[in-house]
Amino acid sequence: MLAVLRHEYAQAMRFAEDDDAFTAMPSAPPVPCQLYVHVPFCETLCPFCSFHRVRVNPAKTQRYFDALRREIGLYHDAGFRFADVYVGGGTPTIDPDLLIGLLDAVRAVSPVRAISIETNPNHLQPEVLQRYRAAGVTRLSVGVQSFDDSLLGRMERHDKYGSGAQIGQRLVAAQGIFPTLNVDMIFNLPGQTMAMLDDDLQRLLALGVDQVSFYPLMVARSARHAMARSMGLADERLRHPMYERILDRLLPSYRAASAWCFSRVAGMFDEYIIDQDDYVGVGSGAFSYVGGAMSSTTFSLAHYCRRIESGRSGITQRRALSRRERLRYDMLMRLFGGELRHDDMRRRWGRAFALRLAPELTAMRLLGVTRRDADAIRLTRRGMYCWVLMMAEFFNAVNNVREQMREHVRAELEAWNHEATVSVASIGRSSA
């Protein structure tokens, strides 16, 4: 079944690339939608990560943030308004002043009600976090991955982002500043044992953070080799028992906000794609889903800045989904959030939803993946693990697209990373 899904997702993510075709902005939906802002800069590049990221080059960061503001302005001029903002990366907090300036600019033109930003443990200075809160940030998501020092070492995060004990202390100091403090963890890492996972769960429960996102390790096809060389191979047989252990330990005090996100409080959002129909992605290498079409901006940072500076959209790939693909995408995302409400599906799709997806819906019920309640179709516990596998396949398909797009601009990204290394080293020398 996973092989079939893999094939289907790969087909669905086949984009048409045309640099000149997509100069016009898409049509704005009638209600405010979600905004995803991609900040691709990181201090070090973790070997397991398949996101679009480059080493930070302080000399070039301002230009990129200026382009982000301008691109958001282009959407605003086209009638888009944003209710929820998610700034992801890379490391959005790489330059606090630029990030806060960007958030102020979005809030000045849109009725923003929630802002989520991602960060790393070395950026958790309470006085800077207070400034983010004052700028409207409601959710801070901290990438921890594991508290185990040997695993942090394998992930090349120990020296840069701190030991498990240091990360724990920084999280304690960050608590209570935002309505939601989320911690990103990964399970089924190479070398991770059940005892290590138990320790991580124990640490999380002792900290009592508001939200935990526990991702299975997902690696793009093309990154598998390099990752195996640097971090080793994960034992796939441990994935299911590890997920069951996570549910056993977290569910008594946390509610599943999605198959891999666990919240103490209601109304939080984890992934920026669950509830909203449309989302706009700005920045280099950002995906959007607007009016039934998936699109992606260029993965070349230089090209992205040039396009935006000349008043054009950053979109260079687009694909309109068929009605059936949209129905299935809707089903995948809503069930990932735990339930498909009957009234919601009727409002959005009329009778088409139940009729066209009847084979899938029946098969899922017979396999014990879902149960039908009076108000909604809900995932069972067995279904939650199925959805972890399905979403992992979906994100792997997205990662494969990212790798493909990055391959097109490989020379530019390598030159960028080299120049960034030299530039950071010279700043280090001049301030020494």
Ligand X SMILES: C[S@@+](CC[C@H](N)C(=O)[O-])C[C@H]1O[C@@H](n2cnc3c(N)ncnc32)[C@H](O)[C@@H]1O
* Footprint of ligand SF4 (CB under 6 A): 42, 45-46, 49, 51, 53, 89-91, 120, 143
Region for 413 from its dihedrals, namely left if φ exceeds 0, alpha if ψ lies in -120 to 50, beta otherwise: alpha
d(CA 426, CA 217): 35
Three-state secondary structure call for residue 117? strand
For residue 145, state whether it binds ligand X (rule: CB under 6 A): yes
For residue 48, state whether it binds ligand X (rule: CB under 6 A): yes
Query: Residue 276: which residues within 8 A CB-CB, separation 6 or more?
Result: 33, 34, 84
Residue least distant from ligand X (Cβ): 143
What's the closest the beta carbon of residue 125 comes to ligand SF4, in angstroms? Answer: 17
Query: Residue 259: which residues within 8 A CB-CB, separation 6 or more?
Result: 336, 338, 379, 384, 385, 387, 388, 391
What's the closest the beta carbon of residue 157 comes to ligand SF4, in angstroms? Answer: 7
What's the closest the beta carbon of residue 227 comes to ligand X, in angstroms? Answer: 8
CB-nearer residue toward ligand SF4: 212 or 377:
212
What's the closest the beta carbon of residue 249 comes to ligand X, in angstroms? Answer: 18
- Kindly list the distances between the CA atom of residue 102 and the CA atoms of 75, 85, 107, 208, in Å, as whole numbers in the listed order: 14, 11, 9, 31
Binding site partner of 349, from ligand SF4, ligand X, none, Cβ cut-off 5-8 A by kind: none
Answer for which of 114, 140, 186, 196 binds ligand X (CB under 6 A) is 186
Strand segments, DSSP code E, in 302-430 are 315-320, 339-341, 370-372, 376-379
Binding site partner of 215, from ligand SF4, ligand X, none, Cβ cut-off 5-8 A by kind: ligand X
For residue 50, state whether it binds ligand X (rule: CB under 6 A): yes
Question: 32 phi and psi, to 5 degrees?
Answer: -60, 140
What's the closest the beta carbon of residue 214 comes to ligand X, in angstroms? Answer: 9
Binding site partner of 45, from ligand SF4, ligand X, none, Cβ cut-off 5-8 A by kind: ligand SF4
CB-nearer residue toward ligand X: 85 or 217:
217
Binding site partner of 217, from ligand X, ligand SF4, none, Cβ cut-off 5-8 A by kind: ligand X
Site string for ligand X, 69-88 (x = CB under 6 A): -------------------x
Q: Which of residues 23-42 bind ligand X (CB under 6 A)?
A: 42
What's the closest the beta carbon of residue 49 comes to ligand X, in angstroms? Answer: 4
What's the closest the beta carbon of residue 186 comes to ligand X, in angstroms? Answer: 5
Stretch that binds ligand X, among 46-54, 168-176, 334-342, 412-420 (CB under 6 A): 46-54
CB-nearer residue toward ligand SF4: 33 or 99:
99
d(CA 192, CA 185): 12
Q: Which of residues 197-236 bind ligand X (CB under 6 A)?
A: 215, 217-219
Helix (H) or strand (E) holding 290: strand 287-290
Structure tokens at 416: 């960028």
Contact 220, 365 (CB under 8 A): no
For residue 160, state whether it binds ligand X (rule: CB under 6 A): no
For residue 281, state whether it binds ligand X (rule: CB under 6 A): no
Site string for ligand X, 329-358 (x = CB under 6 A): ------------------------------
Cis peptide before 90 (omega within 30 of 0): yes
**Each residue of 190-225: b (16+ CB within 10 Å) or e?**
bbbeeebbeebbebbeebebbbbbbbbbbbbeebee
CB-nearer residue toward ligand SF4: 45 or 233:
45
What's the closest the beta carbon of residue 158 comes to ligand SF4, in angstroms? Answer: 13
**Each residue of 30-41: b (16+ CB within 10 Å) or e?**
eebbbbbbbbbb
Question: 29 phi and psi, to 5 degrees?
Answer: -70, 160
d(CA 3, CA 230): 27
For residue 89, state whether it binds ligand X (rule: CB under 6 A): yes
For the residues of 24-39, what is the DSSP string, one character each?
SPPPPPSS-EEEEEEE
For residue 51, state whether it binds ligand X (rule: CB under 6 A): yes
Dihedral angle of Cα 201, 205, 207, 212, to the nearest 10 degrees: 70
What's the closest the beta carbon of residue 334 comes to ligand SF4, in angstroms? Answer: 27
CB-nearer residue toward ligand X: 103 or 340:
103
Note the residues at the interface with ligand X (CB under 6 A): 42, 48-51, 88-89, 91, 118, 120, 143, 145, 184, 186, 215, 217-219
